[in-house]
Structure 1
Amino acid sequence: MSTDFQHARIALGQRLRELRAEGGLTGRQLADRLGWTQSKVSKLETGRQTATHDDLTAWAQGVEQPQVAAELAARLRAFESGTRSWRRQLAAGHRPVQDTVTAEHERSTVKRAWQNSVVVGIFQTAEYARHVFNANADLHQSPRDVEDAVRARIRRQELLYRPGKKYHIVMWEAALRAQLCPPAVMAAQLDRLSGVIGLDTVSVGIVPFEAPLKLAPANGFWIHDERLVIVEDWHAELWLDQPENVSLYLRVWETLAASAVYGADAHKVITRCRRALGAL
């Protein structure tokens, strides 16, 4: 996976390797000095594992250069958010982004999502997705590979029917009312949403407008197996894998999910949104 986050992690690893070499230490020697496994040293140096602040402090002490601890900490803070700019991601179009997302879904068993403004991609109809991709291509002035992107998104929906996968999706009612497409397309999208409720791999919660909220219904995010959070913003995605960040987003998701209705009550919210579109 080529991301801004991963590039920064690799660069940090290269700096750690330089410091170890300057200290005249092998990976094994440093590992022994720090009481770590050699594999941890290797993973940190090659960017396959994200260092903690404690790891970096220990490294600086281990190579007998405690003065570099502040530099290393600053490097870590700079990429802890895992910012992946849309300009960079969309340079080759939307299809590669969809393929990257699908790879994470394939890798993950339990997925949780919160969405406040748009029907989540895993539930989108082709026509609804087409309008979403066209709008984003206009916004980011990116290559217009919309049809390839739509096909990739629809293929990902096959995972909804794969035994062992679990999708726990919570959306605000606003996502069901935002007319990002013509009313007839939105009506078909709401019908599709009604159809996925009841799948044994899927839990769908809708937070009605009238529901009491303990948190503001802010921007959408996905949590993959309690190991990775992907947050969408206008300028970038944030890929967060620090345990404390994942734990925070889990608490956010659980808090918002507690305000949602499910099953027959969720159907009622979808139905009233459908009726608001008129007779179509």
Structure 2
Amino acid sequence: MAVSASSSVQQARQVLADRLGEIRRDAGLTGRDIARLCGWHASKSSRIENARTPPSADDIRAWCAACGAEGRTADLIASLRAVEGTWIEWRRMERAGLRQAQEARLPLYERTRRFRSYSSWLVPGLIQTRGYTTAALRAIQQRRGLVDDVADAVEARMERQRVLHQGDRRFAFLVEESVLRSGIGGSEVMVGQLAHLITVGSFPNVSMGVIAMRPDRARWPVEGFWLYDTAQVNVELVSGYLTITQPSEVTMYAETFAELAESAVYGSDARALITAAMDALG
């Protein structure tokens, strides 16, 4: 598993490590005993039990067998899979193509009623135009050397946008002004995208905020993230996709969103910034 700075990931790993340590102690074994029985170097048992090295499924099977606790194996491997799902490298998420990665998020969107999205890089996917999405996914496909299913992936993202118009859902989007002025796909694509932001901002269930570029900000830009109700945060980083469910961390992101929202402009002021960006594109 890739290392993540998120404390929720590390906490989940530590919980699994603690359970393995409990099984070892219940069996009356030492870490050296586990290493000997499993054919490992003694330091490996210590690294696993202190959550410095994540165990593999085979490691868990060997650990439980050494402790005479084979009945615990399936549950522990399930916990391992859950930890692995907290942090997913892009190459793993997208190994079957971009379309599957897009479709995998649809159930989360369908069960969410309150969406909060902050973006410092790109226009959020739910409010992208077809042209902007095509340019973004094509750039990802080429940069990462993925199979070319961009057309299908674009259709999947466009289909996901139906949640904007279905059910009793609320959406709050925050974008940095730099997102309006440094885009992808060329001037024509960006002009269409910016016009679409003005349209989306007029929806009764949508709040569209723009954080203006200024030299005296109280809250500096952070990594882009999505808040789904109060249950989950997803963060798209350079190396992978982080899922956060630890309540204290979800609260931290909610507080960050609120601080950023206070510094944004809305309504006619937001439209003025978007229009200015359009004018700059000619």
TM-score bracket relative to the smaller structure: 0.7 to 0.9
Q: 1:90 to 1:80 in 2, by over 3 A?
A: closer
- 1:11, 1:97 → 2: CA distance? 28
Question: Does residue 95 of structure 1 match 2:99?
Answer: yes
Matches within 5 A, 1:48-87: 71=49, 79=83, 82-87=86-91
1:90 CA displacement: 0.6
What secondary structure does 2:157 align onto?
Answer: helix
Q: 1:183 to 1:200 in 2, by over 3 A?
A: same
1:179 CA displacement: 2.8
Q: For residue 228 of structure 2, what is the amino acid of its counterpart?
A: H
Moved more, 80-89 or 160-169: 80-89
Q: 1:227 to 1:80 in 2, by over 3 A?
A: farther
- 1:260, 1:212 → 2: CA distance? 13
1:83 CA displacement: 1.5
Q: Given the alignment, which residue of 253, 268, 272 partners 1:268?
A: 272
Is the contact between residue 123 and residue 157 of structure 1 (CA under 8 Å) also seen in structure 2? yes
Is the contact between residue 134 and residue 154 of structure 2 (CA under 8 Å) also seen in structure 1? yes
- 2:132, 2:24 → 1: CA distance? 55
Q: Given the alignment, which residue of 225, 233, 238 partners 2:237?
A: 233
Matches within 5 A, 1:167-206: 167-206=171-210
Question: Does residue 209 of structure 1 match 2:187?
Answer: no
Q: For residue 261 of structure 2, what is the amino acid of its counterpart?
A: A
Q: For residue 133 of structure 2, what is the amino acid of its counterpart?
A: A
1:185 CA displacement: 0.9
Q: Given the alignment, which residue of 216, 238, 254 partners 1:250?
A: 254
Q: 1:74 to 1:242 in 2, by over 3 A?
A: farther
Is the contact between residue 170 and residue 257 of structure 1 (CA under 8 Å) also seen in structure 2? yes
1:12 CA displacement: 6.7
1:210 CA displacement: 2.7
Moved more, 126-135 or 139-148: 139-148
- 2:196, 2:185 → 1: CA distance? 15
Q: Tell me the TM-score normalized by structure 1.
A: 0.73
What secondary structure does 1:91 align onto?
Answer: coil
Q: Which residue of 1 aligns with 2:63?
A: none
Q: 1:256 to 1:81 in 2, by over 3 A?
A: farther
- 2:271, 2:193 → 1: CA distance? 13
What secondary structure does 2:220 align onto?
Answer: coil
The alignment of Structure 1 onto Structure 2 pairs a total of residues equal to: 231
Q: For residue 175 of structure 2, what is the amino acid of its counterpart?
A: M
Q: Given the alignment, which residue of 146, 149, 171 partners 1:145?
A: 149
1:102 CA displacement: 1.9
Q: For residue 49 of structure 2, what is the amino acid of its counterpart?
A: E
Q: Gapped runs of 5+ residues in structure 1?
A: 25-67
Q: Tell me the TM-score normalized by structure 2.
A: 0.72
- 2:261, 2:216 → 1: CA distance? 12
Q: Which residue of 2 aligns with 1:64?
A: none
Structure 1 vs Structure 2 CA RMSD? 3.3
- 1:22, 1:143 → 2: CA distance? 48
Q: For residue 220 of structure 1, what is the amino acid of its counterpart?
A: G
Q: Which residue of 1 aligns with 2:125?
A: 121
What secondary structure does 1:260 align onto?
Answer: coil
- 2:95, 2:167 → 1: CA distance? 35
Is the contact between residue 119 and residue 174 of structure 2 (CA under 8 Å) also seen in structure 1? yes
Q: For residue 118 of structure 1, what is the amino acid of its counterpart?
A: L
Q: Which residue of 2 aligns with 1:134?
A: 138
Q: For residue 173 of structure 1, what is the amino acid of its counterpart?
A: E
1:163 CA displacement: 3.0
